[in-house]
Structure 1
Amino acid sequence: MVSLLSLPLFITSSLSLLLAAFFTLLYVRITRFHQEAVKNYIIFAISALSNSVFFGAFAIFLNSAEFPIVLNITNRITVISAMFSFLLSLHFYLAFFNYRAPIFLRWSYCICVVFSFFALFPNAYFLGSALFSTSKYYTGLVYGPLFELWGGWVLILSGYSVFVIIKVFQRQRQRGKVGSGTVLLLLIANIVWLITGVLDMLTGLQFIDIPPLTWAGSFFVICCIAWLLIKDIDGLYEAKRNLNTQLMFDHVTNACSRSYLDVRMTESFNLLFRGQLSSVAVCVFDIDYFKEVNDTYGHETGDSVLAGITKVVKGAIRTSDCIARLGGDEFVILINNHDAHNDVPKLIERIRAQILDTEYEVKGRKFQVSCSFGVAEVLSTFDDTGIDDVPSFILAKADDALYHVKRNGRNNIACVSVLSANSCNDIELLSSF
Structure 2
Amino acid sequence: MRDHAEQLAYQANHDALTGLCNRACFEAQATEVISLLTGHGTGMAALFFIDVDYFKSINDTHGHEVGDVVLHAIARRLRARVREDDLLARLGGDEFAALLYPLDDPTQAERIAQSMMDGMRQPIGLPEGATLQASLSVGVAFLPVAPNDTLAGWVKYADQAMYAAKRAGRGRYVVFSGATENGGEKDE
TM-score w.r.t. length of structure 1: 0.40
- Is residue 415 from structure 1 mapped to residue 180 from structure 2 by the alignment? no
- Structure 1 contact 297–362 (Cα < 8 Å) conserved: no
- Structure 2 residue aligned with 1:268: 33
- Is residue 426 from structure 1 mapped to residue 167 from structure 2 by the alignment? no
Q: Deviations over 1:13-63 (max 9, x none)?
A: xxxxxxxxxxxxxxxxxxxxxxxxxxxxxxxxxxxxxxxxxxxxxxxxxxx
- Structure 1 residue aligned with 2:129: 364
User: Any residues of structure 2 matched to 1:33-44 within 5 Å, and which?
Assistant: none
Q: Deviations over 1:366-415 (max 9, x none)?
A: 22100101111113x7311xx6xx11110011111111122222111111
Q: Distance in 2 between matches of 1:367 and 1:392?
A: 34
- Structure 2 contact 66–126 (Cα < 8 Å) conserved: no
Which structure has more helix as a fraction of its residues?
1
Which structure has more strand as a fraction of its residues?
2
- Structure 2 residue aligned with 1:148: none
- Structure 1 contact 277–338 (Cα < 8 Å) conserved: no
Q: Distance in 1 between matches of 2:157 and 2:165?
A: 13
Report the alpha carbon displacement of residue 328 of structure 1 after superposing the two structures with TM.
0.4
Counterpart of 1:382 (choices 132, 146, 162) is: 146
User: Alignment length, in residue pairs?
Assistant: 181
- Structure 1 residue aligned with 2:110: 345
Report the alpha carbon displacement of residue 365 of structure 1 after superposing the two structures with TM.
2.5
- Structure 2 contact 20–88 (Cα < 8 Å) conserved: yes
Report the alpha carbon displacement of residue 295 of structure 1 after superposing the two structures with TM.
2.1
1:334/1:277 CA distance change after superposition, 3 Å: farther
RMSD (Å), alpha carbons: 2.0
The answer for unaligned runs of 5 or more in structure 2 is 182-188
- Structure 1 residue aligned with 2:162: 402
- Structure 2 residue aligned with 1:92: none
1:329/1:335 CA distance change after superposition, 3 Å: same
Q: Distance in 2 between matches of 1:268 and 1:394?
A: 12
Report the alpha carbon displacement of residue 338 of structure 1 after superposing the two structures with TM.
4.1
Counterpart of 2:100 (choices 328, 331, 335) is: 335
- Structure 1 contact 314–322 (Cα < 8 Å) conserved: no
1:283/1:338 CA distance change after superposition, 3 Å: closer
Report the alpha carbon displacement of residue 363 of structure 1 after superposing the two structures with TM.
2.8
TM-score w.r.t. length of structure 2: 0.87
Q: Distance in 1 between matches of 2:12 and 2:25?
A: 7
**Higher relative CO (CA 8 A, sep ≥ 6), structure 1 or 2?**
2
Report the alpha carbon displacement of residue 258 of structure 1 after superposing the two structures with TM.
0.5
Q: Which structure has the larger Rg?
A: 1
- Structure 2 residue aligned with 1:246: 11
Would you identify which runs of 4 or more consecutive aligned residues in structure 1 move more than 3 Å? 274-277
1:413/1:352 CA distance change after superposition, 3 Å: same
Give 1:427's aligned amino acid: T
Q: Distance in 1 between matches of 2:40 and 2:123?
A: 38
Report the alpha carbon displacement of residue 313 of structure 1 after superposing the two structures with TM.
1.4
The answer for unaligned runs of 5 or more in structure 1 is 1-235, 418-424, 429-433
